[in-house]
Amino acid sequence: MSGPKISVYSLTGHARAIVMGQIRCEQQSLACAEQTREILHGLQTFSGDFEREVANIQLLMRRTAEGADQIEKLRQLKEKLSKEATAIQEELKNHMPHASQKYRISEEAYAEKQAELKILQAIRKRAETLQGELNAVFSQDKKNTLNIQASILNDLGMAEGVEKETQTLDFMMRDKTQNIERIQASIIDDISGIYSFDLSEEVQVEQVTSLENKKADLSLKLVSLLNDNVLPDNIVVEIQQAEKYLQKISNIQYLSTFEAVTLSRLKQRIADYNEERNKYKKEFDNLRARYKALCNMEEEIAKEYDFTEESLNILNTEIIRLEHSLIKQREQEYINECVNEVMTEMGYDLIGERSVKKRSGKRFKNELFTFHEGTAVNVTYSSEGQISMELGRISREDRIPNSEECEMLTRDMESFCSEFTEFENRLRAKGVVVNNRIALYPPSAEYAAIINVSDYDVVEGAQITEIKSVERKKKIVEKKVIRRNE
- Over residues 325-335, the pLDDT tens digits come to 888 888 888 89
The pLDDT-based confidence of 243 (bands split at 50, 70, 90) is confident
Proportion of the chain above pLDDT 90, given as a percent = 23
Max mean pLDDT range (41-55, 193-207, 268-282): 268-282
- Name, in order, each residue with C-beta under 8 angstroms of 310's C-beta and a sequence gap of 6 or more: none
Reduced to 3 states (helix: H, G, I; strand: E, B; else coil), residue 322 is: helix
User: Would the pLDDT of 470 be above 70?
Assistant: no
User: Would the pLDDT of 153 be above 50?
Assistant: no
Rg for the chain, CA atoms, rounded:
38
Separation of alpha carbons 415 and 427, rounded Å: 19
The pLDDT-based confidence of 477 (bands split at 50, 70, 90) is very low
Q: What pLDDT shows up at residue 135?
A: 77
Separation of alpha carbons 384 and 361, rounded Å: 12
Give 323-361 as a DSSP string: HHHHHHHHHHHHHHHHHHHHHHHTTPPEEEEEEEE-TTS
Q: What pLDDT shows up at residue 193?
A: 43
**Mean pLDDT (whole number) for 41-59:** 72
Q: What pLDDT shows up at residue 151?
A: 53
Lowest mean pLDDT among 103-117, 256-270, 325-339, 350-364: 350-364
**319 within 8 A of 290, measured Cβ to Cβ:** yes
The pLDDT-based confidence of 143 (bands split at 50, 70, 90) is low
Q: What global pTM score does this model have?
A: 0.62
- Name, in order, each residue with C-beta under 8 angstroms of 274's C-beta and a sequence gap of 6 or more: 229
Q: What pLDDT shows up at residue 162?
A: 40
Count Cβ atoms below 10 Å from residue 210 Cβ, excluding itself.
9
The pLDDT-based confidence of 183 (bands split at 50, 70, 90) is very low
Separation of alpha carbons 363 and 354, rounded Å: 11
What phi, psi does 354 have (nearest 5°)? -160, 160
* Burial environment of residue 481 by CB neighbours within 10 A (0 to 12, 13 to 18, 19 or more): exposed
Kindly list the distances between the CA atom of residue 64 and the CA atoms of 24, 50, 75, 448, in Å, as whole numbers in the listed order. Answer: 55, 20, 21, 98
**290 within 8 A of 326, measured Cβ to Cβ:** no
User: Would the pLDDT of 264 be above 50?
Assistant: yes
The pLDDT-based confidence of 154 (bands split at 50, 70, 90) is low
DSSP label of 441: P
Mean model confidence pLDDT for the chain: 78
User: Would the pLDDT of 444 be above 90?
Assistant: no
**Mean pLDDT (whole number) for 245-270:** 86
Partners of 179 in beta bridges: none
Task: Count helices and strands (H / E) in the chain.
Answer: 14, 8
Instruction: Report which of residues 422 and 228 the model is more confident about.
Output: 422
Q: Could you report the per-residue pLDDT of 273-288, keeping only the tens digit for each?
A: 888 888 888 889 889 9
Count Cβ atoms below 10 Å from residue 384 Cβ, excluding itself.
10
Interior/surface letters 181-197, b for 16+ CB within 10 angstroms, e for the rest: eebbebbbebbeeebee
